[in-house]
Chains A and B, each alone.
Chain A
Amino acid sequence: AQSVTQLGSHVSVSEGALVLLRCNYSSSVPPYLFWYVQYPNQGLQLLLKYTTGATLVKGINGFEAEFKKSETSFHLTKPSAHMSDAAEYFCAVSETGGGADGLTFGKGTHLIIQP
């Protein structure tokens, strides 16, 4: 079975500071990993995904994430936070070949940007 742990239900950073959102996963097979963002009263929007190949993945809005198999981690970073980055962020895992459990999401991290 697959699972995702996001460390910190709330993360607060100052505008212009580094954003680091942590995600650790558990999977019995090589995983596919995703980060999604959710703005208030909206659905989820894909930020980036890791399937195979390069372990550093670049996404939209200046975000990137690095897949570290030895640490079973897929942390999300952005060099300089912007006020518009305030939202809920979800890490998700899907086992290769689709799997029977759909996409498994972490509990989410609420990112707060201080002016």
Chain B
Amino acid sequence: KAGVTQTPRYLIKTRGQQVTLSCSPISGHRSVSWYQQTPGQGLQFLFEYFSETQRNKGNFPGRFSGRQFSNSRSEMNVSTLELGDSALYLCASSSNQGGDSPLHFGNGTRLTVT
């Protein structure tokens, strides 16, 4: 079974631009979560989608948004990029929404904002 796939692996953007990151979950997984990883803040929860509905959201500004499609694939969008948005963005999928369901992570998209 194929793992979680994130595209692209690397992105370089300029301050003020917007960016869209893509995530394909493991086949059959309906829950997709997004995390931001930085050296200073560590891993921080962005949001979670289940069956095309955003169920949980972390403490990030409205510039960060996402969506999930009927095939469970998910995208996240960051508008008006800031230098501090430079990070590794990780997508994870799980088979259900329960807190005991382990997350399966992709290899991430490394975003650099200049």
Identify the A interface with B (CB < 8 A).
32, 34, 36, 41-46, 49, 51, 90, 94-108
Contact = CB atoms under 8 A, between A and B. Distances in A.
A99 B101 CA distance: 12
25 contacts: A34-B102, A42-B107, A43-B4, A43-B90, A43-B106, A43-B107, A44-B90, A46-B102, A98-B55, A98-B56, A98-B97, A98-B98, A99-B56, A101-B45, A101-B56, A102-B35, A102-B45, A102-B47, A102-B48, A102-B56, A102-B58, A103-B103, A105-B42, A108-B42, A108-B43
Given A43-B107, A43-B108, A45-B105, A103 B33 contact: yes
B104 interface: yes
Contact of A94 (B42, B100, B105, B108): B100
Interface of B: 4, 33, 35, 42-43, 45, 47-48, 55-56, 58, 90, 92, 97-100, 102-108
Contacts of A99: 56, 99
Interface of B, helix, strand, loop or mixed by DSSP: strand
**8 closest Cβ contacts across the A-B interface?**
A102-B45, A43-B105, A94-B99, A105-B43, A51-B100, A44-B105, A98-B99, A46-B102
